[in-house]
Amino acid sequence: MKNKNERLRILVFSDEVFRRKGLYKTSMDEIAQMMQISKKTIYKHFPSKETLIESACMHMFMEAENRVSEIIHARKSTVDKFVAILGEYSNDLCRVSEVWINDLQHHYPEIWKKIDEFRTDKVYKYAEKLLRQGRKENIIHKYPYELIMESFIGGLRAVVNPQFLLRNNFSMNRALEAVYNIFLNGILTDEGKKIYEKNKKVNLSKIC
């Protein structure tokens, strides 16, 4: 139990440091010093910096996936769920620096690939559930699932591309909300759009 708690403490602490300062320039020595533990203790649980980075990233995405799963399976309308998920993603982006994303893409491409595959799989899984629910509620148009999903995922990938954001002077949160607006206004019926606009104003007002 002690080893498990120690590993989790290192994982959570490292995740927070990586998010703020980036991955590439943050050393194991620095993490050990900030935690006031030996570097040997970190290596006992994570044999390399790459292992720690991958574990920290997957820990972050698994935590997010658990929260989104709760939203998906809640007894709420489709629009309520879409807005709640947008809020979750926006709050997560508030805690991640663009350096973090850039470091993953350029210095740790294999880890980035695993994350992208994990995220894409979850987006397909959950979005399809929402689309089916929305059609039953008659607030989503009957466009082909495949076209909707590919369009949405393409938009999400643009949001987490630092070069795109810098070139167009977007923040990640602003870009994410724009992707959501384009996506939902394209698939929602007139009634669905009214519900979305109302819920968005109420539930996203406190996003950082």
Is residue 28 in some structural domain?
Answer: no
With 0.75 as the threshold, say if the pTM is over it: yes
- Condensed to tens digits (0 to 9), the pLDDT of residues 130-160 reads 989 999 999 999 888 888 888 888 887 777 7
Domain assignment present for residue 37? The answer is no
| Residue 16 is assigned to a structural domain of this protein | no
Contacts of residue 200, Cβ cutoff 8 Å, sequence gap at least 6: 83, 86
Give the number of domains in the chain: 1
> What's the CATH number where 194 sits?
1.10.357.10
Q: What is the pLDDT of residues 67-125, one digit of tens each?
A: 999 999 999 999 999 888 888 887 777 777 778 888 998 999 999 898 888 888 888 88
With respect to residue 144, please indicate whether it lies within any of the assigned structural domains.
yes
Task: Identify the domain containing residue 151 by its residue range.
Answer: 55-203
Angle at 66 between CA 62 and CA 71, to 5 degrees: 145
